């Protein structure tokens, strides 16, 4: 997204569309008018490989897939308008009777598989179980059977007097989602990551203490490739927060920890990657040392660049860019909401300090996006070093609405277009974002609303 043009004037900006995700009648009945059902809160957002589909998962275990509108002569250049394509229930609430624990249906991650035929495939996971789903279209149905009537009932042999040739009859388009594989019973702790390998045959699933390697065709076993669980749980000092495969090297993956470290592992070295090949860690600045240092240094998300040369990591206050060739310190650091450093005490009391923000690259790895509070999200241009704060608001849902840059005032006299840091709404937060793989189209999840923005040059 062109940061230069977006900041030129209020007459230039981006186009915004908003989608309210469909709710479930079962959970929706418990919500009073005007309230947001917990089950409707979006928990993950993901574009597929060509950006034609956009999938969201929510805390109610549902997956909603949006499809981009086909190109038409009336809309050139092509507009980034997405409409609901399919909705299905991916996970149901379960109960672990051995441990007396409820297993939430919340969708933690969604990952698309490369398209091999007319159907689409995706992986979705809750805290314990990963599922492989196949999404197919059907716009024809067989008709003219000899042994069945029009309602599908078996005919009596005496009623069959002539031979008919069955044929396909056009019908209204039906999109069906069917489970193809279920990868279960491999995680003791909550799954926080799934990542497809570049070989398109294996994927990893990571929980708080272990990372497992699966083959897509095998559901009854997996290989444990990382295990940081100590013999005595009282000696536990860190947990795994995110894990991802390298985009082109099938033997390389990284995982981040609550201690602010990123470990790169090479599966060619040994079967159990308990010894990392590289560790990326920035030395702490003693001047910023405080009671909250360990909490805010925890990495909530880590992503490889499309080229595979760089990594971005998101901690509570900043986004950092790492070069795989240099593990001593990040090559770039972008402050997301440094003005909250003075508010850490109150953020700790209301548990906001434990929020897990995600981050995303644009298609050519020149810009980075991540979320903040008050439904703000931040964009950073790596070339110009310019940054931009935008707001995902339902007040700006008209077609071709212009998004105005927002600024936060930390003290002194507040300007007209600024908002005071004391008036930020910490209940409104952008945790999940996604960037179209090739175009300047972004998807932002704000509670139970999905916002889609497009570069103004494409409007």
Total count of domains within the chain: 1
Return the HEC string of the chain.
CCHHHHCCCCCCCCEEEEEECCCCHHHHCCCCCCCCCHHHCEEEEEECCCCCEEEEEECCCEEEEEEECCCECCECCCCCCEEEEEEEECCCCEEECCCCEEECCCCCEEEEECCCCCCEEEEEECCCCEEEEEEEEEEEEEECCCCECCCCCECCHHHCCCCCCCEEEEEEEEEEEEEEEEECCCCCCCCCEEEECCCCCEEEEECCCEEEEEECCCCCCCEEEEECCCCCHHHCCCCEEEEEECCCCCCEEEEEECCCCEEEEECCCCCCCCCCCEEECCCCCHHHCCCCHHHHCCCCEEEECCCCCEEEEECCCEEEEEECCECCCCCEEEECCHHHHHHHHHHHHCCHHHCCCCEEECCCCCEEEEECECCEEEEEECCCCCEEEEECCHHHCCCCCCCCCCEEECCCCCCCCEEEHHHCCCCCEEEEEEECCCCCEEEEEECCEEEEEECHHHC
In a domain, 187, yes or no: yes
In a domain, 113, yes or no: yes
How deeply is 107 buried, as exposed, middle or buried, from its count of CB atoms within 10 A (0-12, 13-18, 19+)? buried
**Residue 381's beta-bridge partner residues?**
367
Domain that holds residue 358: 3-129+183-458
Global confidence as pTM: 0.85
Report the CATH number that the domain containing residue 430 is assigned in CATH: 2.130.10.10
In a domain, 353, yes or no: yes
In a domain, 151, yes or no: no
In a domain, 36, yes or no: yes
pLDDT tens for the chain, 459 residues long, are 443 333 323 333 344 444 444 333 333 334 554 567 888 999 999 999 999 999 999 999 999 999 998 875 555 566 778 999 999 999 999 988 877 888 999 999 999 999 998 899 999 999 999 999 999 988 777 777 777 776 768 877 777 777 777 777 777 878 899 999 999 999 999 999 999 999 999 999 999 999 999 999 999 999 999 999 999 999 999 999 999 999 999 999 999 999 999 999 999 998 899 889 999 999 887 877 788 999 999 999 999 999 999 999 999 999 999 999 999 999 999 999 999 999 999 999 999 999 999 999 999 999 999 999 999 999 999 999 999 999 998 776 666 777 888 888 877 677 777 888 888 999 999 999 999 999 999 999 999 999 999 887 654
In a domain, 210, yes or no: yes
In a domain, 158, yes or no: no
In a domain, 451, yes or no: yes
């Amino acid at each position: 997204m062109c940061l230069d043009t977006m900041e030129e004037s209020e007459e230039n900006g981006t186009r915004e569309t908003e989608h309210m995700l469909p709710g479930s009648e079962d959970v929706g009945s418990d919500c009073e008018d005007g309230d947001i059902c917990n089950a409707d809160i979006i928990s993950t957002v993901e574009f597929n490989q060509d950006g034609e589909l956009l999938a969201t998962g929510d805390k109610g275990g549902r997956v909603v897939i949006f499809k981009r509108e086909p190109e038409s002569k009336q809309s050139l250049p092509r507009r980034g308008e997405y409409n609901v394509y399919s909705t299905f229930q991916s996970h149901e609430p379960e109960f672990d009777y051995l441990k007396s624990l409820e297993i939430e249906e919340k969708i933690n991650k969604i990952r698309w598989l490369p398209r091999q035929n007319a159907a689409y495939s995706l992986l979705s996971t809750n805290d314990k179980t990963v599922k492989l789903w196949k999404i197919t279209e059907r716009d024809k149905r067989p008709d003219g059977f000899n042994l069945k009537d029009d309602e599908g009932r078996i005919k009596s042999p005496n009623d069959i007097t002539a031979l008919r040739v069955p044929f396909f009859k056009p019908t209204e388009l039906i999109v069906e989602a069917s489970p193809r594989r279920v990868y279960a019973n491999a995680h003791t702790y909550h799954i926080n990551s799934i990542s497809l390998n570049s070989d398109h045959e294996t994927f990893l699933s990571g929980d708080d203490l272990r990372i497992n390697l699966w083959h897509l065709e095998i559901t009854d076993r997996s290989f444990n490739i990382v295990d940081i669980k100590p013999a005595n749980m009282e000696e536990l000092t860190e947990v795994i927060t995110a894990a991802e495969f390298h985009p082109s090297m099938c033997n390389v993956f990284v995982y981040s920890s609550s201690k602010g470290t990123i470990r790169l592992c090479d599966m060619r070295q040994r079967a159990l990657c308990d010894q990392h090949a590289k560790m990326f860690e920035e030395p702490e600045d003693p001047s910023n040392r405080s009671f909250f240092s360990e909490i805010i240094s925890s990495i909530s998300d880590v992503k490889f660049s499309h080229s595979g040369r760089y990594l971005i990591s998101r901690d509570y206050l900043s986004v950092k860019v790492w070069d795989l060739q240099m593990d001593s310190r990040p090559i770039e650091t972008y402050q997301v909401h440094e003005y909250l450093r003075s508010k850490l005490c109150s953020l700790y009391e209301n548990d906001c300090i434990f929020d897990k923000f995600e981050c995303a690259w644009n298609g050519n790895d020149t810009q980075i996006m991540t979320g903040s509070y008050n439904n703000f999200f931040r964009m950073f241009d790596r070339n110009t070093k310019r940054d931009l704060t935008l707001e995902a608001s339902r007040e700006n849902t008209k077609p071709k609405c212009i998004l105005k840059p927002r600024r936060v005032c930390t003290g002194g006299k507040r300007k007209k277009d600024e908002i005071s840091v004391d008036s930020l709404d910490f209940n409104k937060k952008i945790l999940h974002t996604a960037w179209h793989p090739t175009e300047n189209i972004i998807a932002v999840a704000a509670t139970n609303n999905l916002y889609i923005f497009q570069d103004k040059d494409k409007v």
